[in-house]
Structure 1
Amino acid sequence: MNQNQEIRNQLIKLLEGGIAYQPIEELLKDITADEAGKSISHLPYTIWQLLEHMRITLYDILEFCQNPDYQYLKWPDDYWPKEVAPADQETLDKCIAEIKTGIQTMIKLVQDPANDLFKTFSHGEGQTLMREALLVAEHTAYHTGEVIVLRRLLGTWE
């Protein structure tokens, strides 16, 4: 196996999770809309706000990677939801499903040998697919960890 393919394989493992922590499917299962909208004293966000932020950011990164006419979002306003809770369970479930789908889309981009991991995007500021894949993995892991801490504080995670 060549180094390029080994790098792709390692990126995919990182995006899937399950090496240093459980896969995202396990970490985000069984969250209820009620739980997702509960506030914790001294924390500025709810589980819903973290999940929706993860989804928005993930799809922004994917849009950047796939669209040469990409338009930057305004930080932080466009990246964080105003609502503290999902409208209902269906909205929450859709958000979580879209996070999983978005990660699979990034995996497909990384898997495709036609996509150069190290070529800078013409519409960016030095970003590469490798950097964006690492960003997705790091951002997802970071905020998923926060979701788990919130669930523990709410008593809904063991």
Structure 2
Amino acid sequence: MLESNQAFGEALVKSLIGERGHIPIARALPDITAELAGKRTGEAPYSIYQLLKHMSYWQSFLLTYLEGGKPLMPSHVMDSWPSEEAPENEEEWQAIVQHFLSGIDKACQIARSTQLDESIAHFPTETKAGILRNIASHNSYHLGEIVLLRRINGAWPPPGGGYPV
């Protein structure tokens, strides 16, 4: 891998996991309980559970492209949001968190091991770097909403603090 590709890949990894600009995503999620995840707060249009399910939907969708597949485009963006507001139980919630974090790990592995300027087979107007950047920015956008909902609910900062490392 070219040195510039490797440097850009590491920059993408930092964006995917979160650093400097915000708390690492893996520190912002695991201590959230199923009860908090399913709580609707004030005028918020969705719960933390719905946010993370939406983030996971699009992350998995975009990872499918990076793995050579062609995901089925939803008929409407609202199809990427769950209608249920809360997980059924703690086990389901923790499985959703782990699935999402595993997707982050997979995206980081791709960023570190692939030629980032290669186009995507089933999305020829996009590059691997572009897809990874999209995952990072979408997750960062919604992570801010999760942090805000946590703060409103008195569940911030997480254990270890709420600042970037």
Common fold by TM > 0.5: yes
Cα offset for 1:13? 1.5
Say which is worse superposed, 12-21 or 85-94, in terms of deviation: 12-21
Paired residue for 1:137?
136
Unaligned runs of 5+ in 2: 158-165
TM-score, length of structure 1 as denominator length: 0.91
Could you say if the C-alpha distance between residues 126 and 50 of structure 1 is closer, same or farther in structure 2, counting changes exceeding 3 Å? same
Give the Cα separation in 2 of the matches to 1:146 and 1:38.
14
Cα pair distance change 1:44/1:13, threshold 3 Å = same
Deviations 1:72-101 (A, max 9, x none): 233313311111001111111111111110
**Aligned AA for 2:12?**
L
- Rounded to whole Å, the distance in 2 between the matches of 1:36 and 1:70 is 27
The 2-side partners of 1:143 and 1:96 are apart by 14
Q: Identify the residue that residue 106 of structure 1 maps to in structure 2.
A: 107
State how far apart, in whole Å, the 1-side matches of 2:37 and 2:120 are: 36
Amino acid paired to 1:49: Q
Equivalent in the alignment of 1:153: 152
User: SS state of the match for residue 14, structure 1?
Assistant: helix
Q: Given that residues 64 and 70 in structure 2 are in contact (C-alpha distance below 8 angstroms), is that contact kept between their aligned partners in structure 1?
A: no
Counterpart residue type for residue 136 of structure 1: I
In structure 2, what is the Cα distance between the partners aligned to 1:14 and 1:73? 26
Greater Cα offset, 82-91 or 34-43: 34-43
**CA-CA distance at 1:20 after TM superposition:** 1.6
Report which of the two has the higher share of strand. Answer: 2
The equivalent residue for 2:162 is none
What is the number of residues matched between the two proteins? 156
Counterpart of 2:16 in structure 1 is 15
Give how far 1:59 is off.
0.5
Q: Partner of 1:28 in structure 2?
A: 29
The higher relative CO (CA closer than 8 Å, separation ≥ 6) is in 2
Offset of residue 125 of structure 1:
5.0
Whether contact under 8 Å (2:18, 2:25) holds in the other structure is yes
2:71 is matched with: 70
In the TM superposition, what is the alpha-carbon distance from 1:5 to its structure 2 partner?
1.4
SS at match of 1:126: strand
Following superposition, the deviation at residue 135 of structure 1 comes to 0.8
Q: 2:40 matched to which residue of 1?
A: 39
The CA RMSD over aligned residues, in Å, is 1.5
* 1:80-124 deviations in Å (ceiling 9; x for gaps): 111100111111111111111001101111111xx3211221311
> SS in structure 1 opposite 2:71?
coil
